[in-house]
Amino acid sequence: MISRRSNRRSTIKDVAHAAGVSTQTVSRVLNDRPDVSPDTRQRVKDIIDELGYQPSKLARSLIQQRSYTLGVIITGLRFVGVSLTLNGITEAAEAAGYSLLLKELPRFDLTEVGPPLRDLFARQVDGILYAAPQVGDNWQRVQAALPVPHLPLVFIKGEPQPGFTTISVDNYAGAQLATNHLLAAGRRHIGHLAGPQEWWEARQRLAGWQDSLQQAGKKALPSHWVAGNWSSASGETAFKQLLAQYPEMDAVFAANDQMALAVLNTAQQMGLAIPRDLAVIGFDNLAESAFFNPPLTTIKQDLHNLGWLAVQKLLAAIEAGTEPRPVDAILLQPELIQRLTVP
């Protein structure tokens, strides 16, 4: 028998803890939703009776108005990283009994973000995931367009923002992993094939490369790096420019695997042996990178888990209701995957 609490009113979190379920499950039972097993439903109801839990009028109204739908604002689905993140979001939402309402922006630098936000509010989503990577001032524009108060909201793949939960990969640490690995392999002239510099992720990878070289007593000059636009086609053009600027280069850290593929192809067409003449390391660990010729050494970022975790954080904010919402700045750590393009 669970004793009633005498010093304060029981909360939905007390019920969830005693029943060994999530607060989302308790909400479903209170709202008489069908997606709860009979045994779990009965256990939760028994705990509610034993604790004497009674939702306040405000809490009950919030429960009754719950749509069990999450809004997702996204752009750049042609990019592999964005689509992998969305896959993690979808699986986590379905596992929690939520559906998704997707709003794809036509471009990263969209200046008017009010309409998609207002549309999601009108459709009564319970919370919003801003899953478009931080490019330029797009995140700041979203934050400026939010009403006060606003729905729970989580930002994905960008710089930590005061007052908001943000979840990203530690791109700076990943770039340092890559550069230090090349230094440990005996390479002394390491160039960088960067991503577009309006992207926060690309700037972080550039900074990690620069700082690692400087910490090792090496130069990281402007002529030692060139930016592409993430595509393999841009990688070919940028790599040829980088070779012309930095002819003594004996290694390349490419900011993504797609540009690294262009480096491998172009270098071999020019008669350079990989990794004897040129060591190459990428970033992403695309499924195809293990089948490049030769297989690509790269930095793994688990974007599926990134999307999954973002949903968990958003659901926690939704369950907080009128209580102060938790705010986190989470950086997931990347991992070096050693293959054959670095000796």
Which CATH number goes with the domain that contains 20? 1.10.260.40
- In contact, 179 and 209? CB cutoff 8 Å: yes
pLDDT value at residue 133: 87
Tokens linked to 74: 């996204």
> In the block, which residue shows the tokens 């719950």?
66
Strands 297-300 and 335-337: antiparallel
In a domain, 2, yes or no: no
Residues making up the chain, counted from first to last: 343
pLDDT value at residue 163: 86
At 25-36, the pLDDT tens digits run 887 787 767 678
| Helix extents (H) in the chain | 12-19, 23-30, 38-51, 57-64, 80-95, 114-122, 138-145, 171-184, 200-215, 232-245, 257-269, 303-320
177 plus 295 within the same structural domain: yes
Low-confidence residues of the chain: pLDDT under 70: 1-8, 32, 34, 55-65, 109-111, 148, 322-326
197 plus 296 within the same structural domain: yes
Domain extent for 197: 171-301
pLDDT value at residue 120: 87
| Angle, alpha carbons 71-76-233 (nearest 5°) | 170
pLDDT value at residue 57: 47
Split into its structural domains, the chain has a count of 3
Of 156, 179, 154, 192, which is closest to residue 81 (Cα–Cα)? 156
What pTM was estimated for this model as a whole?
Answer: 0.80
User: Distance between CA 140 and CA 144 in Å, rounded?
Assistant: 6
210 plus 179 within the same structural domain: yes
At 134-143, the pLDDT tens digits run 998 888 888 8
232 plus 279 within the same structural domain: yes
In a domain, 321, yes or no: yes
259 plus 205 within the same structural domain: yes
130 plus 186 within the same structural domain: no
55 plus 80 within the same structural domain: no
131 plus 34 within the same structural domain: no
Tokens linked to 244: 């012309």
217 plus 243 within the same structural domain: yes
What are the backbone dihedrals phi and psi of residue 134, each rounded to the nearest 5 degrees, phi first?
-75, 115
132 plus 201 within the same structural domain: no
| Helix extents (H) in 185-245 | 200-215, 232-245
pLDDT value at residue 323: 57
